[in-house]
């Protein structure tokens, strides 16, 4: 039984003029302590919504279904009531753009102290000591706690945001595009930090991003999302070397790489609208290997190997459907 | 520096109505407050406009005793001169509305021009213009109006000018802020880099973005202008040759309508002014709401997301 | 639109751009020394027609400012900019106007660079109207159509009447490119043209730029993404704190980097193959702000191979010892 297991999660958003957007359609994934899972997809695929749902931070116009099992207990079952005790204490999130969301009129240190005190972990001097230790563990010299966010560089602010998320010693950290707004050198520093946190403290990490190479370098497992669904889930090695879904393969092919000078492709078309019921495979209109059943039968996520699942009819073909 | 990939949402088409044409019309259609306000205003404006043809009695002819009671033939009674109140209301509203609209027009032209100039050119122009705006803001309205009325003489024209001069400041500020932000939009910078002239940019790119806000602001200014005129007239500074709603209230007040118990001489005009102002506020407020996304506070709602029972789509291998 | 023989399309020599840092009232009263942001500190580069030069670097390195200076959108303090042999550094607005047709800029944000109230047709037509080109309405409409086709928005009829919000990010960026192409420019400056687009559409837009380059357009592409630069650029110039620290053919820079900064940068760019384990050379700290430039070599405080001399000597761009082509140059005294 995993530390965190999301089972068959669905999220709908009420639309302004009536109707619903089915943003997350039956997503299941899990992480164990020390594991890093990369949740990959392009804009609108539902990865951020999934992350927010796991934290119970969906807006009032959203409705959700499914199970979020934390240490065997379904924390989604009672909505806000059951999730709140675990928020920040067991599950924490670094939001997209968190480095720009720090309170500008309070010092960095005081914001972390506040988080610690609010969750009853420590008070006063003890909280301040913990804050200092926390900042050191993310690579910020403790004396910088007296600084205001605007006095810190982008990389430092991101570390501060990570420190805040870790202030209550959570078991699972969800990081939504933690390095997207950062320079490549600072990105490397942050990724190194996340790597160390997982290794040394057994933190489970769910990295939500559109950046495949980042996932390839930092994560062990990857889940590729498209149109609200997980279309493939495997080790990152398998995702690159033996992808079971054309979207995974094409997404890698669309990413330029320093290592190779091969053709970089683009995928024609656009993702489907999620406010309409879909028939068949959501990727079919853009797929280069679509055939018969793809237009009418929705491919479910099926195991195609050890720890490898993909949602594609091609995997059912007896002959070698080589990617 | 790399920037986050924007997540416009899976449905590209569903952008807020801000980018579509006719946001004013859309707002009126969609929001009950705006619809009600517009409807009321329409009725009042039509009534005032058509006063010469619709008014039941002659404006200057006495048809009964002073402060005659309301009756079937005179639903709102008679005023201190024995003239039918309903007739007076229609003509009075006419004057009040004319002053309101005209003064607002003056203030809109001045305020809009100054706001656009300050916001667009920035720098010294901005500082100078805003300094001027500040001076006007500081001037106390009523004393100025008294002085002007004393020096210039209280004619309708002068009243309109005075009110207009006092009201443009808020318009200028609001427009300036909006222009400043629009000016920083990438497509405006692009037009500049293409070599477009200032005129072109202002008229083609800036004003269309600013227009809806200008309309909202104008509607709200009308409310204030009418209030100001009413107040002025009530203080006896209005044009003595014209009957406005404020003048009606002043007349009734002067002729001791209250102690006589002739509520119908005071209350209806006051109520009508209030209704006009309220309607303008409803429409203007709804427009402002629709235009300013930051006024939306849905995310601060205490309500949480809702749960649904699990849909049985079949277990997947985890 | 063929390339002009051997004459470079664009020649920048010793460009310096500085912004004053406002001191504020307190600063002025306490007589703090006036400081400036040294955005660009002596950049020299050339661009031929039919060539794609990628200006690469992290935030604050001056790449965007260089592009803006080249287009005369900001004024430079010293140095020269020559466009097709003509010195445009100090030209006034009136003289620049005809030149603006030849140099176009494509912005980073496809969601913001189009006026939401104008249809595609109007957006692409506007440059023609501004410059008084294209004679009659029909002629202009034809030029608009051609520009859309060139930007790979075919058939153009499908897009002419759309509003920006009805288009995807990639399509909007193509419209922006079409609006740039409608004037038949010789130089296109693209500032992070794909960084805000989804990965699956980037190659399409970059391929478009590549195709335009092959037709003779000179393209100056600003990017922070080394992988993109490696794949699509002919030449790469790496900038750090306002200077070019290394430049040369793209493939050469990526396969045989000489400057320690370039090496460090390349070493930390994530690869898509998980088996491609990096040996990242992560530099400590972050790029210092451009107000306080270190003396000597500006990179020496973070340089892994810095020696004493590096604190005194400001290196020039010269071919390194281990360089494989004469056009490969690096600014480091140790290579």
Give the closest of A26, A28, A64 to B305, CB-based: A64
Q: Return the DSSP state at C318.
A: B
Tell me the residues of B at the A interface, defined by beta carbons under 8 Å apart: 1-14, 298-299, 301, 303-311, 313-318
Cβ-defined contact of A256 to C287 (cutoff 8 Å): no
Nearest to C100 by CA among C72, C75, C125, C79: C72
Q: Mind telling me how many Å the CA of B196 is from chain C's nearest CA?
A: 6
Residue A239 has pLDDT above 80, yes or no: yes
Q: How confident is the model at residue A90 (pLDDT cuts 50, 70, 90)?
A: very high
Q: Return the DSSP state at C37.
A: E
Residue B212 has pLDDT above 80, yes or no: yes
Cβ-defined contact of B5 to C197 (cutoff 8 Å): yes
Place of tokens 């009964």: B64
Contact call for residues B67 and B197 (beta carbons, < 8 A): no
Kindly report, residue by residue over A275-286, the tens digit of the pLDDT. Answer: 888 889 999 999
Taking 3-state DSSP, the helix, strand and coil percentages for chain B, each rounded to the nearest 5, stand at 70, 0, 30
Q: Return the DSSP state at A218.
A: H
Contact call for residues A31 and A172 (beta carbons, < 8 A): yes
Place of tokens 């804009």: A43
Give the closest of A30, A180, A271 to B2, CB-based: A180
Residue B15 has pLDDT above 50, yes or no: no
Angle between helices C169-181 and C137-150 (to 10 degrees): 130
Residue B205 has pLDDT above 70, yes or no: yes
Q: How far apart are CA A112 and CA B60, in angstroms?
A: 76
Contact call for residues A193 and A166 (beta carbons, < 8 A): no
Place of tokens 């489907």: A272
Residue B1 has pLDDT above 80, yes or no: no
The pLDDT, as a whole number, for residue C192 is 93
Residue B141 has pLDDT above 90, yes or no: no
- Average the pLDDT over C172-191 and give the result: 94
- Measured between CB atoms, does A240 come within 8 Å of chain C? yes
- Average the pLDDT over A182-195 and give the result: 92
The pLDDT, as a whole number, for residue C308 is 92
Kindly report, residue by residue over C16-59, the tens digit of the pLDDT. Answer: 999 888 777 777 777 777 788 899 999 999 999 999 999 999 98
End-to-end CA distance of chain C: 40
The pLDDT, as a whole number, for residue B85 is 84
Selected residue with higher pLDDT from B235 and A14: A14
Q: How far apart are CA A237 and CA C274, in angstroms?
A: 6
pTM of the entire structure? 0.85
Can you give B114-163 as a three-state secondary structure string?
A: HHHHHHHHCHHHHHHHHHHHHHHHHCCHHHHHHHHHHHHCCCHHHHHHHH
- Average the pLDDT over B25-47 and give the result: 84
Chain A touching partners, 3 or more CB pairs below 8 A = B, C
Q: Give Cα separations from C270 to A162, A185, C172, C286, C289 (angstroms).
A: 21, 11, 29, 19, 26
Q: How far apart are CA A160 and CA A112, in angstroms?
A: 9
B78-82, C168-172, C247-251, C312-316: which range is least confident on average?
B78-82
Q: How confident is the model at residue B18 (pLDDT cuts 50, 70, 90)?
A: very low
Please state the φ and ψ torsions of residue C182, each to the nearest 5 degrees. -60, -20
* A140: closest chain C residue by CA: C285
Cβ-defined contact of C286 to A153 (cutoff 8 Å): yes
Q: How confident is the model at residue C290 (pLDDT cuts 50, 70, 90)?
A: confident
Mutate to test the interface with B, among C64, C100, C116, C199 (most CBs of B within 10 A): C116
Residue B20 has pLDDT above 50, yes or no: no
B250-254, C100-104, C296-300: which range is least confident on average?
B250-254
Residue A204 has pLDDT above 70, yes or no: yes
C93-106 residues labelled b (16+ CB within 10 A) or e (exposed):
eeeeeebbbebbbb
Kindly report, residue by residue over A23-81, the tens digit of the pLDDT. Answer: 999 999 999 999 999 999 999 999 999 999 999 999 888 999 999 999 999 999 888 88
Q: What is the ipTM of this complex?
A: 0.89
A159-168, A252-261, B4-13, C242-251: which range is least confident on average?
B4-13
Please state the φ and ψ torsions of residue A125, each to the nearest 5 degrees. -60, -40
Kindly report, residue by residue over B63-120, the tens digit of the pLDDT. Answer: 788 887 888 878 888 887 788 888 888 888 988 999 999 999 999 999 999 999 999 9
Which residues in chain B touch residue C165, judged by CB atoms under 8 angstroms apart?
12-13, 15, 19-20
């Amino acid at each position: 039984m995993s530390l965190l297991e999301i089972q068959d999660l669905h999220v709908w958003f009420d639309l302004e003029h009536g109707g619903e957007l089915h943003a997350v359609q039956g997503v299941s994934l899990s992480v164990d302590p020390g594991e890093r899972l990369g949740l990959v997809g392009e804009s609108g695929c539902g990865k951020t919504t999934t992350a927010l749902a796991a934290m119970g931070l969906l807006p009032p116009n959203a409705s959700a279904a499914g199970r979020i099992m934390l240490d065997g207990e379904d924390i989604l079952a009672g909505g806000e009531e059951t999730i709140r005790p675990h928020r920040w204490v067991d599950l924490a999130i670094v939001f997209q753009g968190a480095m720009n969301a720090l309170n500008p009129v309070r010092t960095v240190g005081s914001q972390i102290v506040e988080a610690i005190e609010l969750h009853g972990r420590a008070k006063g001097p003890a909280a301040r000591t913990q804050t200092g230790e926390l900042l050191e563990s993310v690579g910020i010299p403790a004396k910088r706690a007296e600084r205001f966010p605007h006095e810190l560089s982008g990389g430092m602010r991101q570390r501060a945001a990570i420190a805040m998320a870790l202030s209550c010693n959570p078991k699972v950290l969800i990081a939504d595009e933690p390095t997207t707004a950062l320079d490549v050198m600072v990105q490397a520093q942050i990724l190194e930090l996340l790597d160390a946190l997982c290794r040394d403290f057994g933190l489970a990490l769910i990295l939500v991003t559109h950046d495949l190479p980042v996932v390839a370098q930092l994560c062990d497992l990857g889940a590729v999302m498209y149109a609200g669904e997980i279309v493939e889930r495997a080790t990152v090695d398998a995702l690159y070397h033996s992808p079971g879904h054309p979207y995974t393969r094409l997404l890698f092919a669309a990413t330029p790489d320093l290592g190779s000078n091969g053709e970089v492709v683009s995928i024609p078309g656009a993702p489907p609208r999620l406010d309409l019921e879909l028939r068949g495979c959501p990727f079919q209109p853009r797929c280069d290997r679509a055939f018969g059943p793809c237009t009418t039968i929705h491919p479910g996520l099926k195991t195609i190997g050890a720890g490898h699942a993909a949602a594609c009819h091609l995997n059912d073909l007896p002959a070698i459907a080589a990617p | 520096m790399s920037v986050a990939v924007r997540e416009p949402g899976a449905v590209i088409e569903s952008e807020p109505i801000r980018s579509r044409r006719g946001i004013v019309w859309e707002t009126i259609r969609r929001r009950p407050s705006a619809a009600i306000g517009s409807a009321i205003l329409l009725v009042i404006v039509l009534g005032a406009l058509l006063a010469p043809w619709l008014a039941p009695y002659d404006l200057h002819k006495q048809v009964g005793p002073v402060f005659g009671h309301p009756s079937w033939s005179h639903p709102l009674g008679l005023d201190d001169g024995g003239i039918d109140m309903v007739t007076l209301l229609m003509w009075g509203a006419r004057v009040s509305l004319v002053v309101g609209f005209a003064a607002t027009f003056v203030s809109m032209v001045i305020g809009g021009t100054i706001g656009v100039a300050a916001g667009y050119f920035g720098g010294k122009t901005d500082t100078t213009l805003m300094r001027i705006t500040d001076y006007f803001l500081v001037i106390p309205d009523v004393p100025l109006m008294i002085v002007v009325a004393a020096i210039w003489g209280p004619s309708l024209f002068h009243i309109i000018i005075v009110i207009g001069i006092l009201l443009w400041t808020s318009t200028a500020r609001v427009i300036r802020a909006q222009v400043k932000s629009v000016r920083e939009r990438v497509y405006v910078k692009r037009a500049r880099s293409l070599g477009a002239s200032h005129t072109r940019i202002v008229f083609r790119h800036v004003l269309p973005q600013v227009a809806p806000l200008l309309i909202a602001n104008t509607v709200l200014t009308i409310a204030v202008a009418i209030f100001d005129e009413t107040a002025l007239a009530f203080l006896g500074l209005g044009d003595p040759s014209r009957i406005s709603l404020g003048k009606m209230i002043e007349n009734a007040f002067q002729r001791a309508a209250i102690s006589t118990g002739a509520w119908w001489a005071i209350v209806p005009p006051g109520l009508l002014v209030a209704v006009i102002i309220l309607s303008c506020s409803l429409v203007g407020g709804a427009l402002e709401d629709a235009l300013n996304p930051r006024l939306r506070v849905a995310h601060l709602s205490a309500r949480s997301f809702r749960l649904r029972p699990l849909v049985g789509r079949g277990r997947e291998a985890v | 639109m063929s390339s002009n023989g051997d004459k470079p399309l664009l020649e920048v020599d010793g460009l310096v751009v500085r912004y004053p840092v406002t001191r504020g009232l307190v600063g002025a009263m306490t007589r703090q020394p006036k400081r400036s942001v040294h955005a660009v500190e002596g950049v020299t580069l050339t661009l031929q027609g039919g060539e794609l030069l990628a200006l690469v670097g992290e935030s604050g390195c001056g790449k965007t400012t260089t592009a803006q200076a080249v287009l005369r959108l900001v004024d430079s303090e010293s140095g020269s900019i020559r466009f097709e042999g003509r010195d445009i550094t100090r030209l006034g607005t009136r003289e620049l106007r005809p030149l603006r047709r030849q140099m176009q800029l494509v912005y980073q944000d496809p969601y913001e660079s189009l006026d939401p109230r104008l249809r595609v047709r109007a957006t692409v037509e506007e440059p023609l109207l501004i410059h008084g080109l294209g004679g009659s309405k029909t002629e202009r409409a034809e030029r608009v159509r051609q520009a859309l086709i060139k930007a790979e928005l075919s058939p153009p009829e499908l897009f002419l009447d759309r509003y920006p919000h009805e288009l995807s990010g990639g399509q909007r960026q193509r419209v922006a490119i079409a609006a740039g192409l409608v004037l038949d420019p010789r130089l296109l400056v693209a500032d992070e043209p794909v960084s805000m687009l989804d990965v699956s559409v980037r190659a399409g837009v970059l391929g478009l730029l590549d195709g335009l380059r092959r037709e003779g357009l000179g393209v100056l592409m600003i990017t922070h993404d080394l992988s993109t630069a490696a794949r699509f650029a002919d030449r790469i110039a790496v900038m750090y704190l306002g200077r070019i620290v290394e430049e040369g053919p793209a493939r050469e820079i990526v396969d045989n980097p000489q400057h320690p900064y370039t090496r460090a940068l390349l070493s930390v760019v994530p690869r898509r193959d998980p088996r491609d384990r990096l040996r990242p050379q992560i530099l400590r700290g972050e790029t210092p702000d451009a107000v306080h430039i270190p003396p000597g070599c500006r990179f020496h405080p973070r340089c892994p191979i810095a020696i004493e001399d590096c604190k005194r000597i400001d290196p020039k761009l010269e071919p390194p010892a281990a360089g494989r082509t004469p056009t490969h140059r690096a600014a480091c005294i140790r290579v």
